[in-house]
Amino acid sequence: MPKGLKQSSSLITISAGMTESAPNTFTQSQVDLQLNPLDNEVFVVQAINMDPSPPDYVGGLNSFVTCSLSTTSRTTVGTLADSSVFAGASRDIRTDPTGGVAFEQTSMETPPSGLEYVGIIATNDFFLQTIGGNNALPKDLRVKVYGYRATAEASVYAALVQSEVLSS
């Protein structure tokens, strides 16, 4: 258990999904955790599983679907290099004159057993981002987030909220 936190729930699984607003268009969705800020409640993320739709095969064109999960609102899909991004995934089809080859890349879906948590969400929600390229149809993103609710000491809560807000 992270110092300054007291677990207040058992394991919670949050399922969420979204679809691009139009093909090849950046789209973001907000997922409300319904945390209680008066009780300094936070959500401790233990694992994340992201499942983007496969891209469309369009002969002669490279196509992709990429997505991220972040603690703050974004105007682009993030990467693990961004402090507010907890997970990312992408699927690509690379083509040449003889055909196409599919590639998939995801951040770690389940942390190593020695890792207590992936991150802590101190504000009331998290965000999903996705965008495709060279696809004929809008693409979906499906996500499962595993974690638990916890209450934080006042100083820890203030530091977590400030860190999260400043990382946006």
Alpha-carbon distance of 129 to 25, in angstroms, equals 10
Domain 5-166 listed as CATH 2.60.120: yes
Q: Is the pLDDT of residue 94 over 90?
A: no
Q: Provide the pLDDT confidence category of residue 112 given band limits of 50, 70 and 90.
A: low
pLDDT tens, 29-86?
999 999 999 999 999 999 999 999 999 988 888 999 999 999 999 999 999 999 999 9
What's the token pair of residue 89?
């995934």
Q: What is the pLDDT of residue 65?
A: 97
pTM (predicted TM-score):
0.91
Sheet (strand 63-70) strand order: 27-32, 125-133, 63-70, 85-96, 99-106
Average pLDDT over residues 88-112: 78
Where are the chain's structural domains? 5-166
Cα separation, 61 vs 43, in Å, equals: 41
Helix (H) or strand (E) holding 22: none
What pLDDT sits at residue 100?
74
Look at residue 99 and tell me whether its pLDDT is greater than 60. Answer: yes
In Å, the largest CA–CA distance within the chain is 61
Report CA Rg, the chain.
18
DSSP secondary structure code for residue 38 in this structure: G
Whether residue 98 is predicted with pLDDT greater than 90 in this model: the reply is: no
Gap between the Cα atoms of 118 and 116, Å rounded: 7
Across the chain, the runs of DSSP E, i.e. the strands, are: 5-7, 12-19, 27-32, 41-52, 63-70, 85-96, 99-106, 119-121, 125-133, 140-152
Find out whether 130 and 18 touch, Cβ atoms under 8 Å. yes
Q: Tokens 């690379």 label which residue?
A: 94
